[in-house]
Structure 1
Amino acid sequence: MSNGKILLVDDEPAFRQLAQSWLNQSGYQVETAADLSNARSKLASFDADLILLDLSLPPQFDPQHTLEALADFTSRPVIILTGHAERQLALDAIARGAWDFIAKPVDPDLLAVVIKRALNKHQLDNELKQLKQRVSAGGTGRLIGVSAAMDAMRTLIQRIAPTDVRVLVTGPSGTGKEVISRALHELSQRSDKPFVSVHCGAIPADLLESELFGYVKGAFTGADKDRPGLLKLADSGTLFLDEIGEMPLPMQVKLLRVLQEGTYFPVGGREQHKIDIRLISATNANLPDLVKKGLFREDLYYRIKGITLETQALSERSQDIPLLLQFFLEQLSKQHGQAVRLDSMALSWFLQRDWPGNIRELKNTLESVAAVAQDGVISMADISLLHPDASAAQLQNLQPQQGDSLLLDEAVQALEIRLIKQAMQQSSGNKSKAARLLGLSRQGLLKKIDRYQLAV
């Protein structure tokens, strides 16, 4: 099995032959070219993962000419081969997009390390691009995550959204139930109509009816004119009832009538109003338990639960945390007018947390520490100001390299390694079972084990 495809561009036949032989023995598939024109022709049929490029090539033998042509090749890593006297030119090449440079005569051991690092980084970059495309696919762009649970959620939303079936979104607080509901609306036939959100626990019980149904003039003290309710505002669109488990029983009866008959009466009114809405409800409560306790009507429960979508706690999909951090950091950078990032230790702290408050807690914590950070760089000192419990002991499972910045794509890699090891432990070393736990094919798991050189 090939470790990757390499195009070697050098005008010295002896060096091409020797380098090709050595690279082939190292497991790479290699094509060679003697000049830039020949290199472009080879790339038309040979999809190289990496290019080894000499600076002085015929017919001009002018490094500046090669530098000017470099942009044609930098869609994949380019490693410059250069003489010692051309060091400044090699640095110019890196400024123009080259990955690295190696002086001739080439040290095979150094070349092996540089090639491997470049290919690993290139593969991670491609995977992250694909992950971002999956994240934003099909109008569900704010459903951020690469876990099997998020992939399944996006698939269900894309299938359910075009219908008018009622949806009940369940799961812990802070897991994005309203985001899911908005995605259902945005992909529906009603996307150009209103999306009206009502938090059933945030409105006092004695006001909920008038807020939902509206009222007519004189219905009660202070009702000096007719006022439409939220149902009217949602007509032809989507009504989202958040924390529906907190809705008082008397209101449950009236909501049931709306769902059964498609009509309602404003408070104090005698004229019946027709309503056409798509209902999406959400709760962090166990509604069947509330039904047994007599706190939620059984008939209403079956009316609202056409299809149930269940969200997962963030602790159950920790591989989604790096992309969530990246998304929120991009938002904060726009708000602050400068780049906002986490240094390596701060990123490790965020990745280690259990986040019982889920995405909401993660976002709020990031926003608060960004507010006290200096020059847009969030450090452990900033975190400790607001979270005195933060300690180095919490970082023992994911320590960054000393003095190095742990980038988000590297965090994805670190998390993948940790999750693969956990899955292999849970499956007692059975790779097929571990692959299913990770939402991967067996071949996909084997590729990752090989890439990360894991002893499992």
Structure 2
Amino acid sequence: MTQNKILLVDDEPAFRELASRWLANQDYHVKAVGSLQDARHALASFDADLVLLDLSMPPHFDPQVTLDAMEDFAGRPVIIITGHADRDLALKAVDLGAWDFIAKPIDPDMLAVVVRRAITKNTLEKEVASLKENRKQIEGAAAYIGQSVGAQKVRALIERIAPTDVRVLVTGPSGTGKEVISRTLHELSHRASQSFVSVHCGAIPAELLESELFGYVKGAFTGAEKDKEGLLSLADGGTLFLDEIGEMPLPMQVKLLRVLQEGTFYPVGGRTQKQIDIRVISATNADLLEKVKEGSFREDLYYRIKGVNIETQALAERLEDVPVLLQAFLSRLQTSQEKPLQLSSEALQWFRRQAWPGNVRELKNALESVASICPEGMISMEDISLLFPHVQELPDSGKGDLETFKGTLDERVQALEIQMIQSALQSTAGNRTQAAKQLGLSRQGLIKKIERYGL
């Protein structure tokens, strides 16, 4: 078992020796020093779990100096050692963040109790913070929904690179969740408390893009009546998301390259260089290497933004994720509905058979549209036919949905499981016990698969 470390800061040599012996007998690793300066030096190599700090320290013996120095011990509990006459100052120390105080002459048993409680509480707080961070990681990555092998790989990559500052290029067809991935990377990073600034490189006219990104100073051009901060400054400390970066004009690519290389830029019309600290995440549905060959995208910029490449799939390539996506979207819509929203078996199969050229975005919009005209809570084919009478479906070979699905062996197996479970539940009118018998599963086994696929 690892020994807890205690830094004892007291100017009385006899007390330091005595208290160190008491604490060592309690199986603590103690480092004792006689001044605040020595305490600061000690912390550089001695990662204390707790600090015992005398309130009156040389050379000034001014309690206020000690109180001001408490910020040097941030992140670990501090127990103030004081005389009876300094009780009010000790209480002030507690108000400033000290864990507790203990008055001289010190009872060894009381010291042991106070130290043990402080270290235990600090350990528990660290464990809770770690659990919350782990939960945040899991829930954040889960924003990219799906059970397919492709979706699982994307989530695993998000979890690994989110805490870093590596630049990321998210590629894939429109509507496949590139911005969701980018926001998730930001929210799971150490920059989460700072801004996430999104720029659509193709939506801003080329002549305005520079001033939007870099900002400008008063008088830089006609209409510049006062200084204006650009999006780069707004993203300082946080994340800059460059959506559809393949549409950025070549002149701006040169200027962005300098920002990425040096971390500096000049506002339009300005002579004072600004420095920024940002993480850059880019996204595109274009083949940037092809654009490099064509000469419409700079090769050096491509390798600057690439860092780690996360590639999303078209929804038609991971159709087994459709039921899971639908369930997630229904759950989000639930707050605005009086009755629980559900899909009939026929409606679910209809959603699974569509081509969805607009991918997840189109699927979500279609479900929201149908839900808006479904007053009874159960979305049926009748509701769907009112809004989508002529939707192009994927070809049906007559051999079932699995035969028309392209994917890995694992993905095909999952698609078959979903199809068989839905069929069994439909034929047994939702009776899980009977459906489990029909499938050769235990009831609990069936429930686990239903939960896994979000059925």
The TM-score normalised by the length of structure 1 is: 0.58
Matching residue of 2:216: 215
Alignment of 1:252-331 (within 5 A): 252-331=253-332
Residues 380 and 266 from structure 1, CA distance in 2 versus in 1: closer, same or farther, beyond 3 angstroms? same
Give yes or no for contact 2:176–2:360 (8 Å, CA) kept in 1: yes
Q: For residues 224 and 144 of structure 2, what CA distance do their matches in structure 1 show?
A: 41
**Alpha-carbon distance between aligned partners in 2 of 1:181 and 1:360, rounded to the nearest angstrom:** 16
SS state at 2:362 partner: helix
Q: Is the 8 A contact 1:135 1:142 kept in 2?
A: no
When residues 134 and 388 of structure 1 are mapped into structure 2, their CA distance, relative to the original with a 3 A threshold, is farther
Distance change (3 Å), C-alpha of 1:285 and 1:134: farther
The structure-2 alpha-carbon separation of the partners of 1:369 and 1:207, relative to structure 1 and needing over 3 Å to count, comes to same
Task: Please state how far the C-alpha of 1:334 moved relative to its aligned partner.
Answer: 1.1
| Residues 136/235 of structure 1: CA separation in 2 closer, same or farther (3 Å cut) | closer
- Aligned: 1:379 with 2:380: yes
- Does the aligned pair in 2 maintain the 1:145–1:323 contact within 8 Å? yes
Q: Which amino acid aligns with 1:353?
A: Q
Query: Is the CA contact (8 Å cut-off) linking 1:195 and 1:240 kept in structure 2?
Result: yes
Q: 1:18-33 maps to which residues of 2 (within 5 A)?
A: none
Counterpart Cα distance in 2 of 1:263 and 1:158 = 29
CA 1:439 to 1:274, structure 2 compared with 1: closer, same or farther past 3 Å? farther
Q: Indicate the structure (1 or 2) with the bigger Cα radius of gyration.
A: 2
Cα offset for 1:345? Answer: 1.9
Distance 1:236 1:314 in 2: 34
- Within-5 A mapping of 1:360-375: 360-375=361-376
Inter-CA distance 249–265: structure 2 relative to 1 (3 Å threshold):
same
Task: Find the residue that maps to 1:309 and give its secondary structure.
Answer: strand
CA RMSD between the two structures: 3.3
* Ranges in structure 1 where 5+ consecutive residues have no aligned partner: 1-132, 399-416, 427-432, 441-449
Give the 5 Å matches for 1:231-270: 231-270=232-271
The AA in structure 1 aligned to 2:224 is A
In 1, Cα distance between equivalents of 2:150 and 2:184: 16
1:190–1:396 distance in 2 versus 1, CA, 3 Å: same
Amino acid at match of 1:284: N
* C-alpha distance in structure 2 between counterparts of 1:270 and 1:226, whole Å: 13
- Distance in 2 between the 1:209 and 1:241 partners? 13
Inter-partner Cα distance in structure 2 for 1:204 and 1:179: 25
CA distance in 1, matches of 2:438, 2:381: 31
Query: What does residue range 133-152 of structure 1 map to in structure 2 within 5 Å?
Result: 137=138, 139-152=140-153
The answer to whether the Cα contact below 8 Å between 1:148 and 1:439 also exists between their aligned partners in 2 is no
Deviations 1:96-146 (A, max 9, x none): xxxxxxxxxxxxxxxxxxxxxxxxxxxxxxxxxxxxx99982531311111
Shift of 1:378: 2.1
1:226-251 residue CA offsets vs partner (Å, 9 max, x unmatched): 11111001001111101000011111
In 2 relative to 1, CA 391–364 (structure 1 residues): closer, same or farther, beyond 3 Å?
Answer: closer
Show structure 2 runs of 5+ residues with no match: 1-133, 416-436, 442-455
State the one-letter code of the partner of 2:187: E
Q: C-alpha displacement at 1:397, in angstroms?
A: 6.6
Distance 1:295 1:438, change over 3 A: farther
Name the structure 2 match of 1:91.
none
**Match of 2:230?**
229
Shift of 1:337: 4.2
Compared CA separation, residues 380 and 436, structure 1 to 2 (3 A): closer
TM-fit CA distance, 1:439: 8.7
Conservation of the 8 A alpha-carbon contact between 1:135 and 1:141: no
- The alpha-carbon deviation at position 374 of structure 1 amounts to 2.7
Matched letter for residue 256 of structure 2: L
Aligned pairs for 1:32-431 (under 5 A) are 137=138, 139-390=140-391, 419=402
Contact 2:149 2:410 in 1 (8 A): no
Three-state SS of the structure 2 residue aligned to 1:210 is: helix
Q: What is the Cα deviation at residue 171 of structure 1?
A: 0.5
Amino acid at match of 1:332: L
Q: Secondary structure at the match of 1:292?
A: helix
8 Å Cα contact 1:135-1:146 kept in structure 2: no
Following the alignment from structure 1 to structure 2, what is the Cα–Cα distance between the partners of residues 296 and 434? 37
Secondary structure in 2 matching 1:232? helix
- Report how far residue 382 of structure 1 moved: 2.0
Closer/same/farther in 2, CA of residues 179 and 311 from structure 1, 3 Å limit: same
- State the 1:327 CA deviation: 0.8
Between Structure 1 and Structure 2, how many residues are aligned? 288
Q: Distance in 1 between matches of 2:397 and 2:334?
A: 29
Question: Does the C-alpha gap of structure 1 residues 313 and 292 become closer, same or farther in structure 2, counting only changes over 3 Å?
Answer: same
CA 1:393/1:177 → structure 2, altered by over 3 Å: closer, same or farther?
closer
* Matched-pair contact (CA < 8 Å) for 2:355–2:392: no
> Quick check: 1:136–1:142 contact (8 Å CA) kept in 2?
no
Specify the SS of the correspondent of 2:327.
helix
